Amino acid sequence: MKAVLQAQALSLPPRLKNLSLRLRGNETIGLLGINGAGKSTALMALAGVLPDTQGELRVMGETLSNAPALRRHIAWLPQQPALHPDLSVAENLAFFAGLRLMRRPDSRQLAQTLERFDLGPLRKRLAHRLSGGERMRLALASVLLNEPRILLLDEPTAGLDPLQAERLRGLLQRESSERAVLIASHLLPDIEQLCERILLMHAGSVIADEPMHTAKPRVRVGLAHPPSDEALLALPGVARIVSANHGERILELAPGFPENLAEQVAARGWGLQRWEPGGSDLLARFRALSTGESG
Amino acid sequence: MIGHLVRHELRLRFLTPAWWLLASGIWLVCAWLLFAQLQVYQEIQPRLVASGANLGINELLVAPTLNVLAILLLVIAPLLGMASLAGERRSGRLALLLSTPLSLPQMLLGKWLGLLLPVSLIAAGILGMLSSLALGMQLDWARLATAMAGLILLSALASALSLACSAFTRQAAAAFAAALTVLIFLWLADGFVETGSPLHWFALSPHLGTFLQGTVTSDGLIYFTTLTLAALALAMVGLLRERESPPRRRLRELLAFLMLGILLAAAANLSQSQRHTLFRSAPLPEALLETLAAINGPITVTAWAPDYPILRARIEKLLRPLREIHPDFTLRWNDPQREPQLARETGITHDGELRIEAMGRAQRVPQPDHASLLRALRHLARRGEPWIVALQGNGEAPLGESQQGLGAWVRSLNSHGFRVVGVDAAGPIPDNAALLLAAAPAQDYAQDQVEKLKAFLRRGGRLLWLQEAGASSSLANLTGIGVLPGTLVTSAGSAGLSPLQLNVPIPVELDVPESGGAILDRAFALLPPEDGAWRIHARLQTGAHAWNETGPLQGELQRNPLQGERSGPHAVGLLIENGDNARIAVIGDSDLARNAQFGGAGNARLLLSVVNWLTDNRLDTRTAADDADIDWSPVVGISLALFHLLVGPALLGLAGMQIQRRRSRA
């Protein structure tokens, strides 16, 4: 598939070094890195708001600096959405969306977008009175009203409570189906739940580029009568026991593990009390890669 | 797209209380100043009229308020504009704006208009407040309109400068301080930058001053347009750092600065070399215009006046035409009370004296009035005073102080910038004779004298002839104007007048401000010239009850048609002109100019206006300002004061707070 966003050797030393990437059609990529790794700088460079960046940036096949109108295809959302605190939700949406549409959005469009991002009841509320999640949804609505082809998100769930974060991830999952998305985050659940591919960043450079399916999923299991480790490892699809604590085990699963694995465990009479899929070996791999690179 | 941004900026201004509270405060300050001045004005108005200061409410109430408003605008624009770009940058919104397809010029224009409109609206509001004075005062609407244009241009410049300063920093306070500093520098530059220096062109107050005083000049328009464009270009340079890559940015910056330099140099040069007045709320005296046109190089006026607002306003008003017309005019104030030694050395004897320097010479103007100023300027221009040459030698009225003399009239003419000189009619006519006066010649002029006078008229000369019993042949020979036999009398005498005295209305063509008529005593009826070359400009006419009495002027007078006595109306004055630009005024009486009757009725006004017409001298002869009176009831005055000092500002402030309350409840 043709790349909608293509970066070639983007550099802004020391914050960004030689970043190259291709973002295709409906692809969602995660940009993973610790704080200060250069993720935000990378996103800003890709959004074209760091004019001192060297290298080439092409949007829909054209160089961005030669065709400023292409900016309407890029929706960039910084970590702290810079809304107008003294304007209402509807006013903020109308203004920022208008800038991307190059005209004032009509009321029908505004109403639909407010509903689409669950902001309808909040339309008259001033932006400074919104919660973090509401603010992020408003910012997202503002940049997505004109249906851009590319969405660049910087730590979208940072600072949100788990419920708000989960709600936003659901929203992003829905919106990412129609566009190419690049999510910069240091929060693994964001990456694991939303991304198909991950780029690991460290000290301004991309140190690894891997498809998400190579990450091994994990499941937390609570058992009233835990069997031996051998019995657990004998189950189809169980690759490794990551930890054991009384009746609780964290199992690392091999790619392609059976969908009815939980039913198989329950059928063994080990007193299955909990089955919580979540997490992967991403953190371990990230830690290893980062340490290796730095060390 | 610009409209979208402008609407957004306006929403930000008007949906938050800051603008409302600021507008309310400005209204209160200006209203307080206005009504404080009004109180003083009402106290001094009778003395002003008595002193003939020719100052009214437009000069003493409206002008100072506009000046204060202009200074307030220099603060308001940076205050409202300081966060326009700096605040956006600090909050992170600027990067967000730059990530959209919005171009830099679009962003800049949107921000600028979004700032200019609220600032201009405050100025318009204050002008609205001043307009309400029309309920009882005679406002100069044209001057208010030019003032509004000037204040909008000032707002445009101040807004653009505020944006430019805001474009280079993240600190709104720094942007405010920088913009205010630049604006104050421009405002004060007139005081400390030497007039001849190229930097003086940047001085703001002289350019704005012409607008506030009712005149639009090309120079002023070029100044504001150029500096506004320059400030916007500077703001653009500040924003280029945010979006353009370094090589492209450097090229554009270089181009921008190059264009900026060329634009400023060209504008300064153009506005000084090609200075045109595009609109003027009040016409300028032709004589002054002609005199000023003959003065090359700078004109410097030193006004010796203590810091009395009325005296200084009077001098300012007197010198305004010079400031407007002459490209290189400087006014310096010296306070004789602070510098008595210098005043003595300079020969200054009283307050309000002016010293004019031009073309390497200097002249004193003892009184700050038009006539004295014009006389001094004419001396400086080496054009000499316009002489009124009174022909002598044929029994004309003497110029002295006897009852039959013309002394009072001569003094009056001198005070209006003329110089009356007696010249023997047999001799040559002086080159600088603006007007020949034949005041009641008793004998006809010799033929060669008549030919000399005819030659003078053919050169576009001017002649004032006061007819008495003699020399009617010369008059007919020169002008074609005949004289009916007999003396004009009337049966419709008015209070205190004998049948020999005619009250003649002054013709409207002479444009004399005050109404009324002149009193002619034993006048002669004139017959218009039959020669078609002469066109009658105006005529003084008797009423229908007058006739030319040919009999003795005693006992009961009655018209006798059989003796050729014709009933009125009769012409007792004819003002005629021809294609050679010659002008002649003939009045069938000389008594109105003689000491015995010169001060009576409208005689002085009639004679002065006739002389003004003959000499193309349009000096304002009024002695009191048209706009001096205040004509409103106490109720209207108190209502206006209450509204502007209390109700209006309070309503604005409450509106701002109500908006804030309603929105924060949502």
Q: What ipTM was predicted for this assembly?
A: 0.78
Interatomic CA distance for residues B100 and A48, integer angstroms: 10
Give me the CATH code for the A217-294 domain, please: 3.30.70
Mutation site, B8, B88, B241, interface A, largest A CB count within 10 A = B8
Looking at B352, B380, B408, the residue that finishes a domain is B380
CA within 13 Å, CB half, B380: 30
Mutation site, A64, A74, A86, interface B, largest B CB count within 10 A = A86
The residue behind tokens 């102080």 is B401
Contact between chains at B99 and A74 (C-beta distance less than 8 A): yes
- CB of B457 closer than 8 Å to CB of B483: no
Interatomic CA distance for residues A16 and A41, integer angstroms: 7
Residue B400, domain member (yes or no): no
Closest residue to A49, CB basis, from B15, B16, B95: B95
* Chain B residues within 8 Å of chain A (Cβ atoms): 1, 4-5, 7-8, 11-12, 15-16, 91-93, 95-103, 241-246, 248-249, 663-664, 666
Closest to A282 (Cα-Cα) out of A220, A193, A205: A193
Strand, coil or helix: A43: helix
Residues B276 and B193 grouped into a single domain: yes
Residues B135 and B215 grouped into a single domain: yes
Where does B522-599 show beta strands of DSSP type E?
526-527, 535-541, 546-549, 571-577, 583-587
Residues B528 and B643 grouped into a single domain: no
Interatomic CA distance for residues B434 and B223, integer angstroms: 40
Residues B578 and B495 grouped into a single domain: yes
Query: CA-CA-CA-CA torsion for B247, B249, B251, B257, nearest 10 degrees?
Result: -150
State the Rg of chain B over Cα.
Answer: 32
- CB of A100 closer than 8 Å to CB of A84: no
Positions in chain B short of pLDDT 70: 48-54, 195-196, 271-275, 277, 280-287, 371, 382-386, 415-417, 493-496, 511-516, 617-625, 666
pLDDT of A261: 85
Closest residue to A99, CB basis, from B97, B242, B246: B97
Contact between chains at A44 and B95 (C-beta distance less than 8 A): yes
Q: What percent of chain A has pLDDT over 70?
A: 93
Question: For residue B180, with 0-12 CB atoms within 10 Å meaning exposed, 13-18 middle and 19 or more buried, which class applies?
Answer: buried
Strand, coil or helix: A54: strand
User: What is the domain extent for residue B460?
Assistant: 444-614
Residues of A in contact with B96 (CB under 8 A): 76, 78, 82, 96
User: Among all residues of chain B, which has the CA nearest to that of A127?
Assistant: B664
Instruction: State yes or no: cis peptide before A14, omega within 30 of 0.
Output: yes
Mean pLDDT of A138-143: 90
Strand, coil or helix: B461: coil
Residue B388, domain member (yes or no): no
Residues of B in contact with A48 (CB under 8 A): 99
Residues B15 and B116 grouped into a single domain: yes
Contact between chains at B101 and A68 (C-beta distance less than 8 A): yes
Residue B121, domain member (yes or no): yes
Residues of B in contact with A86 (CB under 8 A): 12, 15-16, 663
Counting the structural domains of chain B, the total is 3
Residue B173, domain member (yes or no): yes
Mean pLDDT of A78-82: 85
Which phi and psi (to 5°) does residue A20 adopt? -130, 135
Contact between chains at B11 and A91 (C-beta distance less than 8 A): yes
Residues B185 and B267 grouped into a single domain: yes
Contact between chains at B15 and A98 (C-beta distance less than 8 A): no
Interatomic CA distance for residues B86 and B595, integer angstroms: 77
Residue B604, domain member (yes or no): yes
Enumerate the CATH 3.40.50.300 domain ranges in chain A, comma separated.
3-214
Q: What angle is formed at CA A13 by the lines to CA A9 and CA A19, rounded to 5 degrees?
A: 25
Residue B145, domain member (yes or no): yes
Contact between chains at B242 and A48 (C-beta distance less than 8 A): no
Enumerate the CATH 3.30.70 domain ranges in chain A, comma separated.
217-294
Residues B568 and B642 grouped into a single domain: no
Residue B50, domain member (yes or no): yes
User: Among all residues of chain A, which has the CA nearest to that of B249?
Assistant: A51
CATH of the domain at B297: 3.40.30.10
- CB of A270 closer than 8 Å to CB of A225: yes
Residues B62 and B184 grouped into a single domain: yes
- CB of B429 closer than 8 Å to CB of B421: no
User: Among all residues of chain A, which has the CA nearest to that of B103?
Assistant: A68
Closest residue to A49, CB basis, from B4, B91, B98: B98
Residues B482 and B584 grouped into a single domain: yes
Residues of A in contact with B98 (CB under 8 A): 49
Biggest CA-to-CA distance, chain B = 108
Interface contacts A/B by beta carbons within 8 Å: 81
Which phi and psi (to 5°) does residue B365 adopt? -115, 105
Contact between chains at A102 and B1 (C-beta distance less than 8 A): yes
Residue B420, domain member (yes or no): no
Interatomic CA distance for residues A64 and A60, integer angstroms: 9
State the Rg of chain A over Cα.
Answer: 22
pLDDT of B74: 95
Query: Does pLDDT of A196 surpass 50?
Result: yes
Question: Is the backbone of residue A36 left (phi > 0), alpha (psi -120 to 50) or beta?
Answer: left
Strand, coil or helix: B495: coil
Q: Dump pLDDT digits (tens) for A222-249.
A: 888 888 888 888 888 888 888 888 888 8
Contact between chains at A88 and B12 (C-beta distance less than 8 A): no
Neighbouring CB atoms inside 10 A of B490's CB total 23
Contact between chains at A71 and B100 (C-beta distance less than 8 A): yes
Overall fold of domain A3-214 = Rossmann fold (3.40.50)
**Distance to chain A for B83, nearest Cα, Å:** 13
Residues of B in contact with A88 (CB under 8 A): 663, 666
